Amino acid sequence: MAEAEYRFWTSPIAGHVQFSFYAEESEIGQVRLAETEGRLKLFTGETAPAPGLRLAEVGGHTPGQAILYVPTSEGEVLLASDAVHFYEELERNMPFTFISDLPAMYEALATIREEIRERGLTVIPGHDPDVLTRFRACGALPAGAAITIGRHQTTPKETP
């Protein structure tokens, strides 16, 4: 977990209504316990949590918002988590409504768009149901149950 994320959610500021609506004190208590017991690894900037994976802090949505680069058989994919909730945020340069730092959110969106332009990365938003229609269905599972994520989308969409 990004150190800024941990420090934010375990600080008094997280208790304010705008933020406390999104996390319960018991959940934060479990995160505190994991850190105290040494089960939580904090990082700043970038880290490699496992071979081939790269976790990068971008901030914006929350102070320590991070994105994850994952290698696939079809190339690297960027799992955006809450840095990009929906494709529309990237396409319209329109941050999600719940943010802790609006300028940082715009910077995170710009960083992700730059990664798409320069490296051709496929981006997977954290909450967009359109992900299920943009990628191949996974095996014999019912439609919408799971997808195979890689560079090859079923219907390519342009991203600015």
Q: Report which secondary-structure segment, H or E, holds 148.
A: strand 147-148
- Confidence (pLDDT) at 8: 95
Helix (H, G, I), strand (E, B) or coil at 97: coil
Tell me, what's the pLDDT at 157?
A: 46
Q: What is the pLDDT of residue 62?
A: 92
Cα–Cα distance for residue pair 144/133, rounded to 1 Å: 8
How many C-beta atoms lie closer than 10 Å to residue 56's C-beta?
A: 19
Question: What CATH number has the domain spanning 44-160?
Answer: 3.60.15.10
Listed by start position, the domains of the chain span: 1-42, 44-160
Q: Using CB atoms within 10 A of its CB, is residue 17 exposed (0-12), middle (13-18) or buried (19+)?
A: exposed
Contact predicate 74/106, CB 8 Å: no
> Given this model, what pLDDT does residue 160 score?
42
For the record, the structure tokens of 66 come out as: 């991070």
Position 156 scores a pLDDT of 41
Alpha-carbon torsion 77, 78, 81, 82, what sign? negative
CA distance 145 to 108: 30
pLDDT along the chain (160 residues), means of 10: 96 89 90 97 97 95 95 90 95 90 95 93 93 84 80 47
For residue 26, give both structure tokens: 């018991």
